[in-house]
Amino acid sequence: MIQFNHVHFGYGAQKLFTELSLNLEAGHIYGLLGKNGAGKTTLLKMMAGLVFPKVGTVVTLAHEPRKRQPSLMQQLYFVAEDAFVPDTTARRLADTYGVFYPLFDNAQFFNYLQQFGVNSDQKLEKVSFGQRKKALISFALATNVPLLLMDEPTNGLDIPSKSTFRKLVAGAASDERCIIISTHQVRDLESLIDTVLVLHNGKITYREDLNVLAEESTSQPDLEALFQDIIQK
């Protein structure tokens, strides 16, 4: 579904990725972990064709993402951390932008909004950052795209909303869908993701199926302790 082949990338003198190679497949909820500044957002943007590798290639859903072809754009959705929304209501957001996604489901969208406690007829610019974030997450899930990218989606959510987020994302997962969630708040994703990726020093330094880890351990893997151990080495 996604392939990074010997990718190099940086901003000016700052090198983020060096010889980064990665393959991600459908049927998984990946947790992309890393310290602030490790390049998690850039990695997601590269998958979506918003930034381009200096060296190497990226393939997303059999497309070259930098071309931003409509046949690719209708198959992926990127929830950015800053949660920008137009000056409109959630209902109008669905009416205006849902048409760009062939599998968008209005009924699902309003169900997600209800579970998050978001008023579909209130102007999104007039509500809190957390409410805007929940509206965008609801829209993203309702697109039913095969590739869903989320950058720090739990930032701005209160504890009950984080629980709702985990429940809704888990319910939206399928064998045909790849969901990639970046975060530095490891505890928010512990019970949701099935595969952990750690981005550190420009490379994926750790990748493991949590089901395998659970089978090899007598207790549930402690992702926070695992993450801290990796980035301190």
Q: How far apart (Å, rounded) are the C-alpha atoms in residues 142 and 140?
A: 5
Report pLDDT for 40.
92
DSSP letters for 105-146: -HHHHHHHHHHHT--TTSBGGGS-HHHHHHHHHHHHHHH--S
Report pLDDT for 160.
94
Domains in the chain, please, with CATH? 2-231 (3.40.50.300)
Helix, coil or strand: residue 196: strand
Q: Please, what sign has the CA dihedral across residues 59, 63, 64, 68? A: negative
Report pLDDT for 138.
97
Report pLDDT for 211.
72
State the first-to-last Cα distance of the chain, in angstroms, to the nearest integer: 31
Q: Per-residue pLDDT for 198 more than 80?
A: yes
Q: Per-residue pLDDT for 75 more than 70?
A: yes
Q: Burial letters for 135-171: b for 16+ Cβ neighbours within 10 Å, e otherwise?
A: bbbbbbbbbbbbbbbbbbbbbbbeeebbebbbebbee
Report pLDDT for 208.
83
Region 60-76 average pLDDT = 96
pLDDT tens-place string over residues 9-55: 988 878 889 889 999 999 999 999 988 888 999 999 999 999 999 99
Helix, coil or strand: residue 225: helix
> Which helix (H) or strand (E) covers residue 6, if one does?
strand 2-11
Report pLDDT for 86.
81
pLDDT tens-place string over residues 83-142: 778 889 999 999 999 999 999 999 999 999 999 999 999 999 889 999 999 999 999 999
Average pLDDT, the chain: 89
The residue that leads in pLDDT, 132 or 187, is: 132
Residue 231's pLDDT band, with cuts at 50, 70 and 90, is low
Strand 2-11 with 147-151, pairing: unpaired
Q: Per-residue pLDDT for 168 more than 70?
A: yes
Region 158-173 average pLDDT = 95
Q: How far apart (Å, rounded) are the C-alpha atoms in residues 18 and 39?
A: 12
Q: Per-residue pLDDT for 82 more than 70?
A: yes
Q: Per-residue pLDDT for 194 more than 70?
A: yes
Helix, coil or strand: residue 45: helix
Residue 228's pLDDT band, with cuts at 50, 70 and 90, is low
The residue that leads in pLDDT, 228 or 155, is: 155
Region 63-69 average pLDDT = 95
Report pLDDT for 11.
85
Q: How far apart (Å, rounded) are the C-alpha atoms in residues 114 and 125?
A: 19
Report pLDDT for 78.
96
